[in-house]
Structure formats: C-alpha cells, structure tokens
Structure 1
Amino acid sequence: MEALERTVSHIRDVAPDAVIIGDAKRGDIGPSARAYAKAMFGFWDFDAVTVNAWGGSDSIEPFLEDPTRGVFVWCRGSNPGSGDFQDLLVDGKGEGTPLYEAMARACADWNTSGNIGLVVGATVPGQLAAVRSLCPDMPLLIPGVGAQGGELESAVRAGCDSKGRLALINSSRGVIYASPSADFASAASEAASRLRDSINHVLEQDGLGWLSS
C-alpha cells in the first residue's frame, strides 16, 4: 500500500495532467460501496476507477456522484472464463441478448453525467466491436493486449470510436515486467513507447492518427 501511495504521489509530481485509473474492480452494495468510493477518490485520489456493477445500479451509484471522476464498469472480461456468464443470453426473446450487451446498454442509460466508461477485453474483438457499436461515445478501457494474447491491431480497430479515439489500451504485464533485471525502469519505458507507437501506426494506416485530425 505504501508503494501504491508513493507511485500516485510520484505521478502527480512528474506528470500532473496524467489520468490515474485505480484498477480495483470494486463491487458491493449500500454503505460498503460508499466506503469504497470514498477510499478510491478521497484517500487515493484516483481520477477514475474500475468497478464491478453486477450487483446492479445501486452498487455503483456512490462512485458516480462526482461527475469529475471517471468510472469504468466491467463489461466483458479478457480472461478465458469471463464468457461463462458474461456471454449468457438473458432476455429470452428470440436469440436473446448476451449479458455483456445488457450491461453495456444499462451503463449507457446510467451515464447521465458522462463519466462512465466500460472495461472490455482485447482478447474478444467481436464482443469489443459489439460494445463499441452499442456505446459509440463512451470511453473503453481495453486490457488483454500482450501477455493475455490480445491482438493490438484488432483492439484498436474494434475499440476506437469513429475518430480513432476513446480507447485506452492497456498492457500491464507487458510494461511492468518488460525486464526482470536492473534495467526494469528503462525497459518499461521502452515497452510503453513501443505500445504507443504501435497504436498510432494502426491509426495512421486508417487515416485516424493524431496528425491526421
């Protein structure tokens, strides 16, 4: 916990405009949810957090109260077992609606302050594209590139909006564990730069790069 506190403090010092996301996937009800929100935004001072909303709207309401703080709701995981439940058909009409799509639609309805995003894995590009189609104006946090096997090019093209924006593509282990040796800091920096350049390359190919806008 001390290391986390020092990390957040360091980022605030050297990159004050950087957005810090607390990937905690908090999910509970009532007073517990409120306490979690207070800790994540009040104590840790994260700009945004990830939450588990499978307990329903009241499980994330405390996180949404401050419109200046972002809330990324777990919608479709990158892990192999996430489809066990998140791909289940739930509405009983015709072929049914996958549960992750029902979650995406619910979040779009809850997004009255414009501070909700969704977590959707790069390992499931079909589902990622479906969520983007349902929520064209919401930011997507996209884990699973690299160590989990997600393909970057597919993630960029399926996850970005029509302007090539609103996708935060994450490669935690690919950056943090870029080197097991004493050069871990420089190796992590290089890995992050390569990821950024690779994302921008795909966008440039599609005429959506930062220099093209």
Structure 2
Amino acid sequence: MYTKMIALAVGAGLLFAGAAQAQDFQPKTAGTVMLNVRATGVLPTGDDPITTLAGASTGLKADVSNDVMPTIGLTYFFTDNVAVEVIAGTTQHTIRAQGPGADIKVQKTWVLPPVVSLQYHFMPDQKVSPYVGAGVNYMLFYSEKDYNGFGLKVDDGFGYSLQAGVDVAVRDRWSVNADVKKIFFETDATDRFNGVKSKVTLNPWVVSGGFGYKF
C-alpha cells in the first residue's frame, strides 16, 4: 500500500514531465542546491527473537510496524556528478511481541532517522538523471508510550545506508524524484519491568517519491 501511494505521486509528476522540452529545464551543475519534498514510507524488515536477560527463549519475536510521513531532503552538488544529501523526517512505529497464539502491543515510539549520503549522479545534464549513493544515519527514538505492562527502552545508534534514485526534470527548476534507500541498523531493546530483551534488526527500506526544486 505504501509503495503504491508513493508510485502514484511520482506517476502524476511524470505526466507533467512528459510535456517539457530539453531547453525548458535547468540541469544539475556544480554549486546547485536541490530541495526535495517527498512522501516517504519507512518499512522495517526485522523479526528478532525476544529472550530473557539470561538469554533463554521466550518463544516471542519483535515486530515493528511501517509508517508513511513527509520528509525533506537537501542536496548540494560539489561537481556536476558528485553531491551530498541530507534527509530529515520522523515516523511513528508500533512494536509488538508476536508468537504462537500471541500478538501483544508493547510500545509506540517516534524515531528520527537523519541520513547523510554521498551521491554520484549519472547524466546530470539530461532530463532523466539517475543516481546512486551511500551514507550513514543515526536512529533517535523518542516520545515512547508503553502498553500492557511493558517498560521498553530502545537504544539509539548509528547505521549505514545504500541508495538509488532518479530525478526527472519537469520545467524550469522543478523536477520529480523517486528514491529508495536500504538502511542497515541493529539495536538493543530491553524491557526493564519484565526482565526480557531483544536484538532489534530494523534494516528498513525507505521508499520515497516527491518533487524537487533547484536553487
């Protein structure tokens, strides 16, 4: 559902892009600053076992829900091809303990996962310009709300990311952007009330679509 929503937003922009001629758009060049406003789905993929503090199995696994929120990305071009991007946004996720006959709501938490990526842009002077990137991120968990007698503490920490995307020029300084990141992040979650813990391997896909403007 999340990827379909983002694909529809990008598709609508591409309809406008089809009408633009080569001379109607501003290419990517050294010194360009690009602002992207996107709809972003954060889709965690982890499914880690929950154990006691001594390491014994509880038969449960940690599940973390998806979320979609707006995000902002700012890109600066050092050369026509090489750029650095910073993205910021915040999403809310529900952590559940799941197992045979069990599906227990543990916590809702907000996470702020800024990502800084070094990018290489192919064909920066063309209307359709794909790019790849790699970077680092920091996961900051805040405004937690516990449920069902749990007192969960999820540790903040660093991860790294890989990225692929494409900018499609629309007209003048405007463009349509589609972007996919894979973030690799593992942390610890400890229930200080019940004496259980879990490795939480989030490793989310971050799927985005939106519009960009070059300054």
Query: What TM-score results when the alignment is normalised by the length of structure 2?
Result: 0.24
More helix by percentage = 1
If you compute each CA radius of gyration, which structure gives the higher value, 1 or 2? 2
Query: What TM-score results when the alignment is normalised by the length of structure 1?
Result: 0.24
RCO higher in 1 or 2 (8 Å CA, sep ≥ 6)?
A: 2
More strand by percentage = 2
